[in-house]
Amino acid sequence: MSALLNLQGVQSYYGSAHILHSLSLHVNAGERVGLIGRNGVGKTTVVNTILGLAQMKAGHIHFGPKQIDRPRAYMAAQHGIVVVPQGRRIIANLTVEENLLLGAATGRKGHWHVAEIYKLFPILKERAHTSGTALSGGQQQMLAVGRALMANPDLILLDEPTEGLAPVIVDQLADIFNQVADQGTALLLIEQNMSLVARVAHRYLAMAKGAVVAEGRVDNTRECLEDLESHVMV
């Protein structure tokens, strides 16, 4: 398989604070990967390094075959890698539909356009002309996912997408993530909800102290769930 995203030996910093320590990971085309670990181990810093928001001082990042020596926020999307950020970052003075259209700014062509997003999330069609920040938390997360899909990505990075959401909304999102992946989009799911990881991911990477310390296959069984939870407790 060809890797859509490949980080090798990455050392990453915020100022003088050393966060990622020789971190290596990859996501292949069509894969569903869970990146797990307790708070503070550097999971979001992986995303911020890819976007150039944290400083990479050593190691290598590849978007597909292209080595990226100095990542910048716009580069990932140009190479078919988009982020659904922690906190959603819905633009307050734009409507739901205007927020969606922002996702199409890269000009990549593919299956996803506004009508398809509305099929996936009917509530967004109902509220198309409402301010994006007037939605509930769960609806805002749907909007953030829809906006990412509008870029027609090969890979979506989902950073804590179920944080603060009710279990019924988490169930809906799990189904959505599986539908999206079934259509060929790779997922890197950064999560502490291990039941969601077990339902969506096929492979997991466990982080501790800024590095990947364990990995394995995922299946939706009690034994697998207990194994995943043990890594988050480290």
Chain centroid offset of residue 58 CA: 23
Per residue of the chain (234 residues), give pLDDT as tens. 579 999 999 999 999 999 999 999 999 999 999 999 988 999 999 999 999 999 999 999 999 999 999 999 889 999 999 999 888 889 888 999 999 999 998 888 888 999 999 999 999 999 999 999 899 999 999 999 999 999 999 999 999 999 888 999 999 999 999 999 999 999 999 998 898 999 999 999 999 999 999 999 998 667 777 777 777 765
Interacting residues of 115 by C-beta distance below 8 A, sequence separation 6+: none
For the beta carbon of residue 111, count every other beta carbon within 10 angstroms.
10
Global model pTM greater than 0.85: yes
For the beta carbon of residue 229, count every other beta carbon within 10 angstroms.
15
Q: Which domains does the chain have, with CATH numbers?
A: 31-56+72-232 (3.40.50.300)
